[in-house]
Amino acid sequence: MTTQELAFDLLSERAGIEEPTAPTLAEVSAAADVLETTNCREPTAERFHALNVIKGAQDRVTPDVYVDFCEAGLKLTPGELSDIYKRYPALYWYDRAFGKVLAEVQQENVHAGGTVLWHIYNMGYVVKTSKHCFAIDLHHRRSEELLPFLDFLTITHNHNDHYTIHLAQAMNRSHKPVITNFYPNDGYNVPCPDNGYFKGPEHTLRLGDITVTTYEADHNVKLHNFVQPVEITCGTEENACVILSSGDTCDAKQLKHHSPKIDFYIVHPYVGLKVDEAATLLNPQLTLVSHLEEYHHSIDKWRWTWRQGYEAARRIWQTGHKAVVPVCGDKIRF
């Protein structure tokens, strides 16, 4: 049995998730230890047991609890955080995983032509090359701590689980580009390429040796041209890493790519988009199934589980393409 087959078997409808009723902070901390020493490319039974523990803790975090926690941002004191972590151990893991990424971003020495991705939360990723560091759809309570290390930020659309306003404002004050179709402008009428705001069929921006191409896609039947998928070529080398995030695009037929190849495809698998169709169309080397266990949504509405993520990954593997399900803190090398 391959590692992917093991993952599918462990998370199948038959096996399910064995969720503890109320995991303690100590149990979540032990699960975090396991997640930090395993990886999404080679899932193991031990990793899935750890995810089961985390899942049990996540189900206790309601949208109201999360919004209050996230909006408090960096103003929370150590004492307040200690109380929150005891009541909601999943938020301890959420912060701990961010701390892991923050440390590794500073320590990682990326070789020429190399690219490293870290999964932050939801569809948020930090990417580092030998020359640049940037973020895609970065939403997190602590996101401003990455400001000194980011050269630019891309946001696929104007929903608050895909960006953090405090980070966007800090980037703007630091004169660092925020590439989006809604910020820092209030309206959608006038394109302002000088500050990274684009609203229109297609735009290309060059930042050092990185090329960013954006276009428009639908979020759903009501929000037409609301999403700005982003394709990022991470260098000028012939084999430079290419990342495509479709954000919350609902129709695979609207997706396109300008580079001859896509190395990493970041996808929301449950917004109407057919992941097998998207994989066949884009032919990515690896699909990162994301937008799972998102705290803005209640557990009975739109909070897609890791098991559902692996079911989407299974559909991608059945097309002959590879897919993984990253969780907070995971590092993925090109």
| pLDDT by 10s per residue, the chain, length 334 | 355 554 555 554 434 445 556 899 999 999 999 999 999 999 888 999 999 999 999 999 999 999 999 999 999 999 999 999 999 999 999 999 999 999 999 999 999 999 999 999 999 999 999 999 999 999 999 999 999 999 999 999 999 999 999 999 999 889 899 999 888 654 444 445 556 677 778 899 999 999 999 999 999 989 999 999 999 999 999 999 999 999 999 999 999 988 999 999 999 999 999 999 999 999 999 999 999 999 999 988 899 999 899 999 999 999 999 999 999 999 999 9
Residue 300: per-residue pLDDT: 86
pLDDT tens figures, 229-246: 999 999 999 999 999 999
Residue 80: per-residue pLDDT: 98
Of the candidates 333, 332, 300, 328, the residue with the CA atom closest to the CA atom of residue 124: 328
CB atoms under 10 Å from CB of 79, counted, come to 8
Torsion on CA atoms 300, 317, 268, 133, rounded to nearest 10: 130
Indicate yes or no: pTM above 0.85: yes
Could you tell me the residue ranges of all domains in the chain? Answer: 3-333
CB atoms under 10 Å from CB of 283, counted, come to 14
CA distances to 18, 113, 139, 266, 294 from 243, in Å? 34, 14, 18, 8, 22
Q: Are 262 and 93 in contact (CB under 8 A)?
A: no
The secondary element (H helix, E strand) that includes residue 28 is helix 25-36
Instruction: In whole angstroms, give the CA distance from residue 168 to residue 62.
Output: 25
Residue 20: per-residue pLDDT: 56
The secondary element (H helix, E strand) that includes residue 172 is helix 165-173
Amino acid, res. 208: G
Instruction: In whole angstroms, give the CA distance from residue 212 to residue 210.
Output: 7
Q: Helix, strand or coil for residue 56?
A: helix
Residue 235: per-residue pLDDT: 95
| Residue whose token pair is 């012939």 | 238
Residue 14: per-residue pLDDT: 39
What letter does residue 111 receive in the DSSP assignment? P
Can you list the positions of beta strands (E) in the chain? 115-121, 124-129, 133-136, 152-154, 178-179, 202-207, 210-215, 230-233, 242-245, 264-267, 286-289, 323-324, 331-333
Residue 325: per-residue pLDDT: 96
Instruction: In whole angstroms, give the CA distance from residue 323 to residue 309.
Output: 10
**Which CATH number is correct for 3-333, 3.40.50.300, 3.60.15.10, 3.10.180.10, 3.30.43.10?**
3.60.15.10
Q: Helix, strand or coil for residue 214?
A: strand
